[in-house]
Amino acid sequence: MICSLWHILVLLICHAAGVKKLSERYSWRTLHFQFDSREDREAAKNGGYFEYGNSIITSIALSGDRLFLATPRLKSGVPSTLNYIRTSDSDVKSPILKPYPSWEANVYYNMTSKMKRMVSIANVKVDNCDRLWALDTGSTEDLTSRKVETPPGLFVYKLNDDTLIRKHTFKDDDYDGETSKLRTIVVDDSERSCEKAYAYIADANGGLIVYSWEANLSYRVEHNYFHFDPLWGNLKTSRGTLRQVRDGIQGMALTLPRRNGNRDLLFHPLISVNEFSVPTEVLRNMSRAQKDITAYYHLGQRGVNMQSPASYMDEYTGVLLYTTIVRNALACWNVFGTRDEELESNQGIVYSFNESETESQQGTVDTFEESAYPADLTVDVNGTVWVLTNRFLDYIYEKKENNVAMRIYTGVVGNIIRGTPCDME
């Protein structure tokens, strides 16, 4: 009897230790969109505007029970580029995407509508003023023929009534029409005034666009720290295809406010393991942002094979969470314990996607570390982290892999950092 009780106790302990810090909330192989009718769906398919397997989710943002999903038109046949699902529909594992705010806002197929409607949304953010910011690259079919439809810009929606309250088009000197790769956006409303908000847009070709809501003005900033590091550019797909990637600044996050109310922008190139920062008051001054090159700081290195496309600082714990595409994981950084030479010792892997992605191997090939590609993350007001994986390298480089696995995981920030260098308790 004692032996039996002991075995039960051991099993319970092992089970508790094995509980995953993140759980899979949603998964898709092929994205489906909620058309107004079956006839509309068939017409879109016949017209080449909807091709199964060509859509991919690249960014997520949460407001209430609506989870917003960016599906850029990197390939042909993506019917809607900004969408949402209801998180309250908890029983649905692979929900159908609903165009946001409407089908009309997502249809761009003639020149008149192109100038007014969204073309290709790459990244989305929700600010503290209940506004949804959507970054539009203005180009389609980037992976094949790359068609420049309109200048890139921002669409900002008021979420309480889903109206478009502003569209801002970037000026010619904000970007390079041939080489710019607009990837991510961070919204800075630190001054607790919706009218004084700023947005920072990462151009992976080595630039940062700063946008002032109050002035409705944008300008480009360049710095050496925005460029990629060639030492970390060799990446593999899940089929083992080796590619050299040259993307610069992409991952960005705002720190907690300092005593003066301002924050720092933490940033890093995708192809790099270095972390940098710059005070936001520097970026908000156009002249100083360009000339004060010593205001940009090198914080240190995240570690070997820690290339990262996305990061987010949790407002409650002050912990920086970031995704790593080679380690195939979610990682954390305890910024309060960091010194330049100690950066790596204040970080930790909080969750690995290797095991969770094993069942979704494409064919019978081995799964390489890079396969899941944790592409984006956000933290909601309840302290829950949402992480998107989308096998982006397969989507780009493996032509036969259209139906790539996309997954969204969730977990409580306090739980996932427990027992790591980021644990404050």
Bigger pLDDT: 293 vs 360: 293
Cα Dmax for the chain = 79
Pairing of β 406-412 and β 384-389: antiparallel
Token duo for residue 418: 């427990």
pLDDT of residue 9: 32
* CA–CA gap between residue 93 and residue 95 (Å, rounded): 6
The DSSP bridge partners found for residue 184 are 202
**Residue with more model confidence, 193 or 97:** 97
Average pLDDT over residues 139-163: 94
Sign of CA dihedral 365, 369, 375, 380: positive
**Containing H/E element for 289?**
helix 286-291
Lowest mean pLDDT among 89-98, 134-143, 262-271, 338-347: 338-347
The C-alpha angle 232, 390, 407, rounded to 5 degrees, equals 135
Give the amino acid at 405: A
Ordered by start, the domain boundaries in the chain are: 191-198+222-425
pLDDT higher than threshold 90 for residue 88: yes
Contact criterion met (CB below 8 Å) for 65 and 86: yes
Q: Which amino acid is located at 182 in the chain?
A: L
Residues with Cβ within 8 Å of residue 133, at least 6 apart in sequence? 124, 125, 126, 127, 154, 155, 156, 185, 187, 199
First CA to last CA across the chain, in angstroms? 38
Tens of pLDDT, residue by residue over 297-321, are 999 999 999 999 999 999 999 999 9
Span 109-121, mean pLDDT? 74
Q: Which residue has the higher pLDDT, 9 or 130?
A: 130
% pLDDT > 70, the chain? 87
Is the per-residue pLDDT at 377 higher than 70? yes
For residue 43, the SS3 value is helix
Which stretch of DSSP H or E encloses residue 6? helix 2-17
Do residues 119 and 138 lie in contact, with contact meaning Cβ atoms separated by under 8 Å? yes
Count of CB atoms within 10 A of residue 10's CB?
A: 10
d(C-alpha 82, C-alpha 137), whole Å:
13
- Tens digits of residue pLDDT in 356-375: 554 433 322 334 334 799 99
Say if residues 384 and 368 touch (Cβ distance below 8 Å): no
Q: Give the pLDDT confidence of 205-259 residue by residue, as tens digits.
A: 999 999 999 999 999 999 999 999 999 999 998 888 899 999 999 999 999 998 8
Does the pLDDT at position 385 exceed 80? yes
Question: What's the pLDDT at 355?
Answer: 58
Q: What does the pLDDT average to over 36-49?
A: 94
Top-confidence residue, 145 or 3:
145
pLDDT for 84 beyond 90: yes
CATH fold group of domain 191-198+222-425: Neuraminidase (2.120.10)
Strand, helix or coil at 337? helix
User: What is the rounded average pLDDT for all residues in the chain?
Assistant: 88
| Residue 335 vs residue 292, higher pLDDT | 292
64-78, 127-141, 225-239, 360-374, range with the lowest pLDDT: 360-374
Q: Residue 370, SS3?
A: coil
Structure tokens at 349: 């892997």
Rounded to whole angstroms, the Cα distance separating 278 from 288 reads 11
Query: Is residue 393 within a helix (H) or strand (E), and if so which, with residue range?
Result: helix 392-397
